[in-house]
Amino acid sequence: MRKFLITLVAFSLLFVPIQSFAKEEALSLDAKAAILVDASSGKVLFQKDADKPLPIASITKVMTLNLIFDAVESGKLTLNEKITVSETAAGMGGSQAFIDAGYDYSAEDLIKSIIIASANDSAVAMAERLCGSEETFVSKMNQKAKELGMDNTNFENCTGLPEANHLSTASDVAKMSIELLKHKGYFKYSTIWMDELKHEKDGRSTELVNTNRLIRSLQGCDGLKTGSTSEAKFCVTTTAKRGDMRLISVVLGGSTSKLRFEDASKLINYGFANFENKVVVQANQVLDKEIPVKKGKDKSAQICAKEGFSVCVENSGDEKLETRLELAEFVEAPAKRGLGVGKMTVLLNGEEIGQIELVLAKDCEKASFFDRLKTIIAFWK
């Protein structure tokens, strides 16, 4: 009987889905809180206490970098601009680039040292340059957080150094991480493993080593940010792209540096193993449906999607993806290519997840007198 039971158990294990092991492994995390999201849609693929407010240490600098790149892209800051470092900035503790008070550094060098080495002194120098003081800059950080729907976040500084009520959540960190990835200039520095910062004062150099070791060990990883303090423990927000899908994982409150990276890797690998990117429609893709044209040379016109849309779904095939079209009754000629004529609503498991504007695929010419005459003759034949 004992041999029979052992054989029966072993046989039954053959029918346990492989995917269930992957899910169970992903659920076993050391971190106090974690989340895995699809970067393009923000869809949550896994979460553990994702809305629990916790200290996030230097992950704070994700928001600092968002404001910096906002300034670069709006023309308020140039990368080659020289920035004079204040005594306050140079005196910051924690992770540093050891910049010298009273000396100039390029904005690019300061940005690079923030991204690679998590330099607190460079972060404060940039905050003072953009807003005059760190305090004013922090108010802008909190304003941006509200705009992004980060309802459980409050920043007290731009570095992540411990302060009471300086808190965020895994869910909110994911939101500001998604925002940072929209700044393509970020990726110029995020995968640099080692670099150096030269100092004008005495000609010395500070070696910059990337704090995110996952860029060398995790397939497709090209960012984002680490953080650690005695209060926050070990944290990391990570992004990786494989094929046409990009994921973001956030790990807060890891008990050791090694375990935070293991948790982040586990989440990212789980995501790519169990989900896939489905393209609903591509930008400028012509649809089968046409729209009637009044007073036009042609009786109908082709329509296309103004923008592309894709969604992350379980690769088991269990999720139901569908689209619904809403078009204007007609369009009156003449009408230009790109004119809005309706929308496509995308639903996943019956819930709306997005809308795409539908537009004319080409110009609609107005019918001439001879065009109308041809139509009349054709009708009477």
Point out the residues that are catalytic: 58, 61, 118
* End-to-end CA separation in angstroms for the chain: 90
Task: Count how many residues are written for the chain.
Answer: 381
Q: How many CB atoms lie within 10 A of CB 192?
A: 15
| Sequence-separated (6 or more) residues with CB below 8 Å from residue 21 | none
Radius of gyration in angstroms for the set of CA atoms belonging to the chain, rounded to a whole number: 27
Q: How far apart are CA 248 and CA 268, in angstroms?
A: 7
Among residues 214, 205, 209, the alpha carbon closest in space to that of 241 is found at 214
Q: How far apart are CA 192 and CA 222, in angstroms?
A: 9
Among residues 59, 77, 171, 166, the alpha carbon closest in space to that of 125 is found at 77
The amino acid that residue 249 corresponds to is S
